[in-house]
Amino acid sequence: MRADLRLGIDVGGTNTDAVVVDRDDVLLAKAKAPTTPDVTTGIAASIEAVLAALGPAPGRITHAMLGTTHAANAVVARSGLRRVAVLRIGGPATHAVPPLATFPPDLRAAVSAGETVVGGGIEFDGTEVAPFDAETAARFFSDVAGRADAVAITSVFSAVSDRHELAAEAIARSVLGDVHVSLSHEVGSIGLVERENATVLNAALAGVAETVAQSFGEALERHDLHPARYFTQNDGTLMEREYALRYPVLTIGCGPANSMRGAAHVSGVRDALVADVGGTSTEVGVLINGFPVETGDPVGIGGVRTNFRMPGLVTLPLGGGTVVGDGALGPHSVGYRLTESALAFGGSTPTLTDAAVSGGRVDVGRTRPAARHRGALAEALARSDAMLAEAIDQAKVVRGEQPLIVVGGGGFLVPDDVPGVSEILRPPDHEVANALGAAIGQVSGQVERIVRFRAGGRAAAIEEACESARLQAVRAGADPERTEIVDIEEVPLAYLTDPAMRIRAKAAGPLRLT
């Protein structure tokens, strides 16, 4: 018997989905369980259900991939967060905006064990803003000893050189012992405030990451499974467990990327629009070359401004459970109680699912909504169609007609004819596209550099960035033979006499299977 199966799990707002695929990514089993407030119970239930669907041979599962909302929930609820010693290396620069100045006060109170700015940091040409002040850094770590159970270190232009961050890390470890240390050059991109925020969140989430990893392991071990464990990150690619423990903040928004990657997989189409219609909301994004197109705009997480690369999405408060009432459509939804509350299931709440049943788009439930509801339902469906069409048009990044892949449990809401869409693809197994996205995930690496170059230096700079990204992907668990560059972005810096460019390269490859 071959040991070659992969288990993918994705925690959504309404349901936690699980799938098992074989080494050719063929779907063998799928299951859904309601998402629970603690998240972990729902994950265990979905594993239980998908193994029941799989039947014999669960021991063949060698890899398990989890996309979870634990990290996002912890930040929003300000719970389970570690106390972080926040060190910024940049003095005498950067004092004008102190560390955590942009955090909401309650979150700052929940995570900060102390903040300071010490001398040091890097100029964009690689020289020093000032020599790194190791002595003051050591004194700061001594002062917070006993209060801090994690450390976040951010140096000016750590994307140009990480040397001051690495020196500070060594000091943190010698003073504080075996403590979690987050380094900004591994977490975020150019933009000191946003990167520092992300680095502090990352350190604060170290405990949450350990809890998740442990409960995931236990849920698997309960079924006598011992697969290699991975977590999906914001861009839809995978991190090995060890990597995820170090960079939990990179998993904070993995859901949309999972469903978009899954949509590419179930449809076999790599360039398309994707609409993921759930119970409460709909997200529309764009796939290019099988990966979601990312936004360069700042992303707010729990009230904190960060600069993560997340899929660029147009979000609508519309889903299968959306309540049809007097006012505007959405965001009120019956959620997972659809099968008790909706008219079609014998309940008393008119929903968009009832509108779709009434309009002949889907045949679910036990009964057709009564005639007296039909006018309002038809009107709601027309309004939903208009909102979807608008969102789909807004999401487009290139001109012309494109195919639209519809996934998610509420996909029947999308009509067969949408302006600007060449064809609507409703692939089989679309309702578990997000868990499939997790199961088939690739492993990626990403680097960002600011480089100055004269004529001819551009190609060398890009090649260097690509090579670093490739190495990073391989370190994170990608197969070196099949790791490719999937994205290169170059943005020239305005108002400089010598040409300089911000270069970002991203590499991705399938899991290295041993």
Partner 1 sequence: MTERQARGRHSAAPDPRAERRSIAVDDLPALARGCAVMGAGGGGDPQVGVLMAREALQQHGPVPLVGLDDLPADGLVMPCGLVGAPTIAIEKLQNGGEGARLVAETETLTGRPVVAIMPFEIGGSNGLIPLNWAARLGLPYVDADGMGRAFPTLPQMTMNLAGVPSSPCVMTDERLNTLVIRTGCVEWTERLLRTSTAAFGGAAVAALYLMDVATARRATVPGSVSRALDLGTALSRNGDDPIDTVVDELAAVELIRGKVIDVERETAGGSVRGSAIVEDNTGEGRLLRLEIQNENLAALEDGEVRACVPDVITVIDARTGEPIVTERLRYGQRVGVIAFPGPEVWRTPEGLAVAGPGAFGLRFPYTPIAPAPVDTGAVRAS
Q: Which two tokens stand for residue 185?
A: 């050059």
Burial (CB count <10 Å: 0-12, 13-18, 19+), residue 95: exposed
What is the DSSP-derived secondary structure letter of residue 465?
A: H
CB of 163 to partner 1, least distance (A): 16
Please report how the helices 206-221 and 40-54 are oriented relative to each other, as an axis angle in degrees rounded to 10: 30
Backbone angles phi, psi at 288, to 5 degrees: -130, 125
DSSP H helices in 412-512: 433-439, 457-475
Q: Which two tokens stand for residue 497?
A: 């006499």
Q: Which amino acid is at 27?
A: L
Give the HSE-up count for residue 15: Cα atoms under 13 Å, Cβ half-sphere. Answer: 25
CB 4 within 8 A of CB 23: yes
Nearer to partner 1, 38 or 106 (CB): 106
DSSP per-residue letters across 481-508: GG-EEEEEEEEEPTT-SS-EEEEEEEEE
d(C-alpha 118, C-alpha 134), whole Å: 8
Nearer to partner 1, 25 or 106 (CB): 106
CB of 173 to partner 1, least distance (A): 26
Length of the chain equals: 514
Backbone angles phi, psi at 447, to 5 degrees: -135, 155
Given the rule CB under 8 A, which residues bind partner 1?
Answer: 90-98, 101-102, 121, 123-125, 127, 129-130, 156-157, 190-193, 296, 394-399, 450, 491-502
Instruction: Give the angle 347-352-353 at the CA atoms, nearest 5°.
Output: 65
Q: Is 294 helix (H, G, I), strand (E, B) or coil?
A: strand
d(C-alpha 321, C-alpha 245), whole Å: 35
Backbone angles phi, psi at 145, to 5 degrees: -55, 135
Q: Which two tokens stand for residue 247?
A: 């960079």
Q: Is 178 helix (H, G, I), strand (E, B) or coil?
A: coil
Which residues, 6 or more positions from 21, have their beta carbon under 8 angstroms from its beta carbon? 5, 6, 8, 27, 28, 436, 439, 440
d(C-alpha 356, C-alpha 367), whole Å: 13
- Look-up of token digits 């599962």: 61
Distance set, CA 430 to CA 27, 87, 276, 464 (Å): 11, 45, 9, 39
CB 404 within 8 A of CB 430: no
What is the DSSP-derived secondary structure letter of residue 343?
A: G
CB 57 within 8 A of CB 22: no
What is the DSSP-derived secondary structure letter of residue 438?
A: H
CB 483 within 8 A of CB 474: yes
